[in-house]
């Protein structure tokens, strides 16, 4: 199993210069061969493969006009070509948009695919030596690659990809349903109690400070040193907003992961929601980021995130008798079931229905969840691990309590 640890690094002046040259070389190679591939595709109808680009790069380095490419680490340049080939494959497979040209005014990153190690509380990188780093935990497995990035606020980070033990077995599992919203970011029902977590709204929290910095930036002359300083001040506030949101969502996802092993959530159309009048609040809440954090943290510990279809009427169904209230509008936060006269909190009722639907999905042996057995308030896992999945559609005896 592969794991990633992101750490902050503190290169000295010489290492900063070397990294700047490497950033520029990798960016040039990407842009050069992206343009060359586009030109060749227009002329011949075929693009360039990685082997063709790598062979041409070797000849390009021998050209007197491009000898400065030899100062960069060869492996990072080759990795840039591999990334470009992957980007084209993703585009033609309709998994991503068409590759774009890279700019030196945005976030910079390079990937070292080999020859990286931990030395004396530092990170040893090719042609850089040992770079001072703040490593929060021990890395015992083999390091596969290291991606070094520089933010717009001149901070350096390294994402270390390494191997870990992938055998994680769990005997008993607990299942909870979560409902995502704007008034309450998360409403959780674990089978016994229901509780809510309010959003922190970092964008609105720093809106006044951001507005002042942007007003100052708009008054600066383009190309001046004062404008560059103002740009960094605006970037620091955006970074503060992003870090605040990520810190909150990491802590919330860790809490949910520690308390539950199976979490059931609704598969929201976040892109569609982001085009409505609530777009600012949707982006500020970070629904997609929360579900992403929950997914990989649960998988690392042998759990699972189950996403219920977005058209499932979790809000309109009565969790007690199953009556569907079609007249329920978004402004109604509490309602009484006309059939069984049960008083429902809108979000709490949705969390209960999502949990019941998650148990139903497990009980019907949906592909990808065949190794789970639901049993009332807890769920048992039969000899599973985070990496191994059951490929065949098998029948199992499941008892789900309504």
Catalytic residue selected from 284, 347, 357, 371: 347
Distances in Å between the alpha carbon of 29 and those of 92, 107, 115, 150, 379? 21, 16, 21, 18, 52
The reply to whether 307 belongs to the active site is: no
The reply to whether 266 belongs to the active site is: yes
The reply to whether 179 belongs to the active site is: yes
Catalytic residue selected from 85, 190, 266, 371: 266
Helix axes 50-62, 74-92, angle to 10 degrees: 150
Catalytic residue selected from 85, 179, 190, 284: 179
Catalytic residues: 179, 266, 347
């Amino acid at each position: 199993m592969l794991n990633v640890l992101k750490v902050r690094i503190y290169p000295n002046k010489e290492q900063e210069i070397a990294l700047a040259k490497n950033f520029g070389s990798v960016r040039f190679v990407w842009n050069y061969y992206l343009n060359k591939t586009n030109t060749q595709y227009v002329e011949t109808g075929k693009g360039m493969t990685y082997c063709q680009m790598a062979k041409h790069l070797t000849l390009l380095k021998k050209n007197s006009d491009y000898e400065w490419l030899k100062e960069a680490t060869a492996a990072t340049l080759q990795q840039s070509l591999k990334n470009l080939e992957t980007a084209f494959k993703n585009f033609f497979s309709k998994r991503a948009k068409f590759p774009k040209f890279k700019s030196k005014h945005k976030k910079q990153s390079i990937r070292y695919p080999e020859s990286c190690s931990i030395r004396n509380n530092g990170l040893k990188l090719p042609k850089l030596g040992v770079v001072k780093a703040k490593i929060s935990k021990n890395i015992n497995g083999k390091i596969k690659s290291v991606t070094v990035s520089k933010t717009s606020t001149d901070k350096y980070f390294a994402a270390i990809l390494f191997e870990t033990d992938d055998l994680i077995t769990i005997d008993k599992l607990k299942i909870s349903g979560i409902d995502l919203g704007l008034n309450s970011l998360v409403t959780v029902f674990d089978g016994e109690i229901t509780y809510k977590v309010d959003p922190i709204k970092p964008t609105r929290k720093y809106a006044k400070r951001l507005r002042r910095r942007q007003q100052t930036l708009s008054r600066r002359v383009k190309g001046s040193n004062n404008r560059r300083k103002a740009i960094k001040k605006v970037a620091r506030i955006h970074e503060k907003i992003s870090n605040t949101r990520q810190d909150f969502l990491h802590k919330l996802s860790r809490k949910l992961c520690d308390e539950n092993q199976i979490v059931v959530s609704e598969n929201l159309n976040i892109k569609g929601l982001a085009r409505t009048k609530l777009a600012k609040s949707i982006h500020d809440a970070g629904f997609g980021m929360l579900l992403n954090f929950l997914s990989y943290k649960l998988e690392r510990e042998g759990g699972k995130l189950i996403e219920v279809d977005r058209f499932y009427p979790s809000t309109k169904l009565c969790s007690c008798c199953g009556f569907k209230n079609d007249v329920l509008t978004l402004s109604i936060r509490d309602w009484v079931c006309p059939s069984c006269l049960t008083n429902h909190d809108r979000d709490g009722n949705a969390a209960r229905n999502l949990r019941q639907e998650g148990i139903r999905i497990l009980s019907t042996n949906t592909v990808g969840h065949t190794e789970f057995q639901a049993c009332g308030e807890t769920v048992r896992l039969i000899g599973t691990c985070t990496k191994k999945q059951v490929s065949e559609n098998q029948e199992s005896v499941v008892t789900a309590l309504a």
